[in-house]
Amino acid sequence: MELDFIHTICPYCGTGCGVDLVVKDGTLVGTNPFKRHPVNEGKTCIKGSYCHEFVHRDDRLKTPLIRKNGELVEASWDEALELISGKLQNYSPEEVGFFSSARCTNEDNYVFQKFARTVIKTNNVDHCARLCHSATVVGLGQAFGSGAMTNSISDIEDADCIFIIGSNTFEQHPLIARRVVRAKEKGTKIIVIDPRYTPTAKQADLYLQLLPGTNIAVLNAIMHVLVKENLVDEEFIKNRTKGYEELKTTLETYTPEYASKLSGVAPELIVEAAKMYGSANAASILYCMGITQFTTGVNNVKSCCNLAMITGNIGKPGTGVNPLRGQNNVQGACDMGALPNVFPGYQAVPANHEKYAEAWNTCVDPNVGLSIPDMLAKAGEQVKCIYVMGENPMVSDPDIHHVEHALKSLDLLIVQDIFLTETAQVADVVLPGASWAEKDGTFSNTERRIQKINKAVDSPGEAIADWKIVKMLAEKMGQGELFNFETPEEVFQEIAKVTPQYAGVTYERLGVDGLHWPCKTCEDPGTPILHCEKCLTPDGLGNIFAIDYADPDEMADSEYPMTLTTGRIIFHYHTGTMTRRSKHMADEINEGFVEIHPEDAEKMGIKNKQKVKVSTRRGEVVVNAKITPNIKQGVVFMPFHFAETAANILTNPAQDPNCKIPEYKVCAAKVEKI
Ligand code: SF4
């Protein structure tokens, strides 16, 4: 039997590596890295190498399920859609909420938010960017006028200094880390700032181990030294920015010694980092959720922007402020307007509601909708129904006991997914979606590269592509004319019409390399580097902000003396729905752990691999201890992939008031041997 090789994009992290799915007799039998792909150049990480393994699992959802007498039982599509349609017609718009998906295609997300906005007439639509990079969207947006990575992945190799803060790039974005390694081989200096001595930190020329939540203190102190040592770019500051004088005044307080008291980083390391970054001709900042997931997430992002702007590291090769997006299409889900305050293309609500009413030929809600945390907070009261597409808040959201209570208090919970996730298990109706290998469409990766994905195999049972399910529901509700699409390409044609950054993009133009947005006309080759001549702000200037350090919401105290931080490991992806069903990944590691520093462990009488109880003000989890010198003393770390030892039972839902991102990365905790 002959093998077919279907080119597509890895479904895991936001790097967006090109792969070929190997198909034999209608079945996926392997994954090959795509040799000529501009992002990964013929390599994949371990997750990507086995990304086909979950697709044909026996436990895929194959028919709709409806809860009857407390049990989820199989139902026909007609029965399930009839039930949902009947219920939805009885709610007012503000009573319904939508969780869109960073795992689904642009086409799925576009159709889903359009359904919320045109059929239900609500802007209550959000997705998990709220929980990972909403601080990026707001912070970069305020500083530069666009909330996306400023430079491209390949561009990282052009830097003389790479400044990595709050990102374990080598485990979370391995094919971006490969660019860091190649730059290092050419002599680029690497600075890593992280509470854990991660595989990324081990590659650094200079490593600063800070306490979780003290990024601003360290960044301000680095900028204090830059000003003092005259390592700032006066020309760039004068011609391209505003707000520098106010920042300069704020920085006076942040001597390296003062920042050291707050962060635990030695003053001489802060000085060295400033000199290394400040003396580079081109310096690139990479950051991830170690910057965003704080009650000060937006200010953390803006501090990174300050650092880049005062040294002139914007708008040139090898520079920039580069958020590394966690999920395959979290950039695209944001671009598609799966957010409560913007329509597709970041067109603000309410300023653009008439424009979209005209484009969609129906009235739309002029009011900003609810975010995910707000929908959960109002569940059972204002919010009666939530429709979740391809998300798993029962594992991914902070304070899971509260999430469970919220979801169970709804009148109707609809979950559309490929497996019976922890969230689907508490749903009233479950709809079986097609996996990425079973559909055509596009993903937009972390560097704003729009890429085509291609169907390799058929869906199991009665599973259907997500956009098509939503269209079927709209038809059932008598609104089918709003979704007059027969193919994902037709959906994309409408996306290009209403999303300015995508206006010049067609499936045909995407080819294998894709296109970087903004790509505004058919002749536009796309934009790998933003802000070259001027920023995308209304006046074209970059906004520098004077930002002071503020403590995290919860600090270690006598009752909870440790600081808990959370994150990912290389073998698993997000809530583990796919990787824990992938044999090679599950064989590597399939249970949670808590990292404890040897001196802390000795004080608590805890041995390696011993079961311990980790508790916070929200709950407790029993998990294996992993004693390692790679964690800062006084800090403990848990991965959040494992539902049985869910780190998010413990995490703090306190939010950044500017973007509502929860403070996953720091809370007060207690560890006890049991
Ligand atoms: Fe997939 Fe990310 Fe690994 Fe690339 S780096 S193969 S996109 S998981």
3-state secondary structure string, 341-373?
CEEHHHEECCCCHHHHHHHHCCCCCCCCCCCHH
**Whole-angstrom distance, CA of residue 159 vs CA of residue 314:** 12
Residue nearest to atom 6 of ligand 1 (CA): 48
Beta bridge partners, 432, equal 417
Query: Cα–Cα–Cα angle for 286, 256, 262, nearest 5°?
Result: 80
Of 344, 334, 533, 298, give the one whose Cα is nearest residue 448. 334
In order of 274, 276, 302, the CA distances from 271 in angstroms are 5, 9, 21
The secondary structure of residue 87, as a DSSP letter, is: H
Closest ligand 1 atom to Cα of 328:
7
Pairing of strands 611-616, 619-627: antiparallel
- The span from the CA of 666 to the CA of 26, in Å, is 47
Atom of ligand 1 nearest to the CA of 45: 3
| d(CA 13, ligand 1 centre) in Å | 5
Q: What is the torsion angle, in degrees rounded to the nearest 10, for the CA atoms of residue 621, residue 623, residue 626 and residue 627?
A: 60
Q: Which residues of the chain have pLDDT under 70?
A: 1
The two tokens of residue 515 are 């296109």
Residue 674 to residue 105: CA distance in whole angstroms: 45
Question: How far is ligand 1, taken at its centre, from the CA of residue 382, in Å?
Answer: 40
User: Vertex 650, ends 575 and 328: CA angle to 5°?
Assistant: 25
Residue 159 CA from chain centroid, whole number: 24
d(Cα 323, Cα 311) in Å, to the nearest integer?
Answer: 18
What pLDDT is stored for residue 581 in this prediction? Answer: 87
- What is the whole-number distance in angstroms between the Cα of residue 49 and the centre of ligand 1? 8
pTM: 0.95
Output the residue whose Cα is nearest ligand 1's atom 4: 17
Pocket test for ligand 1, best of 15, 153, 179, 436 (most atoms within 8 A of CB): 15
Whole-number pLDDT of residue 249 = 98
Distinct helix (H) and strand (E) counts, the chain: 24, 30
211-to-24, 193, 261, 270, 650 alpha-carbon distances in Å:
51, 10, 10, 14, 19
Distances (CA, A) of 505 to 110, 199, 524, 538: 15, 38, 9, 25
343 CA from centroid of ligand 1 (Å): 29
Cα four-point dihedral sign 395, 398, 402, 406: negative
Residue in the block written with tokens 């909403």? 134
Bond prior to 518 in cis (omega within 30° of 0): yes
Q: From ligand 1's centre to the CA of 12, what distance in Å?
A: 6
> Which of 40, 288, 578 gets mutated to test ligand 1 (max ligand atoms within 8 A of its CB)?
40
Q: For residue 12, which atom of ligand 1 is closest to its CA?
A: 8
CA 422 to CA 643: how far, in whole Å?
Answer: 8
Residue 579 has what pLDDT? 86
Helix, strand, coil percentages for the chain (3-state, nearest 5): 35, 20, 45
CB 191 within 8 A of CB 159: no
Given a contact cutoff of 8 angstroms between Cβ atoms, the answer to whether 468 and 537 are in contact is no
CA distance 113 to 131: 18
Ligand 1 centroid vs 226 CA: distance in angstroms?
36
Rounded Cα distance between 141 and 658, Å, is: 12
Unique residue bearing structure tokens 């704080």? 294
pLDDT at 1: 67
The angle formed by the CA atoms of residues 111, 131 and 300, to the nearest 5 degrees, is: 125
Quick one: pLDDT at residue 642? 86
Q: How far apart are CA 412 and CA 433, in angstroms?
A: 19
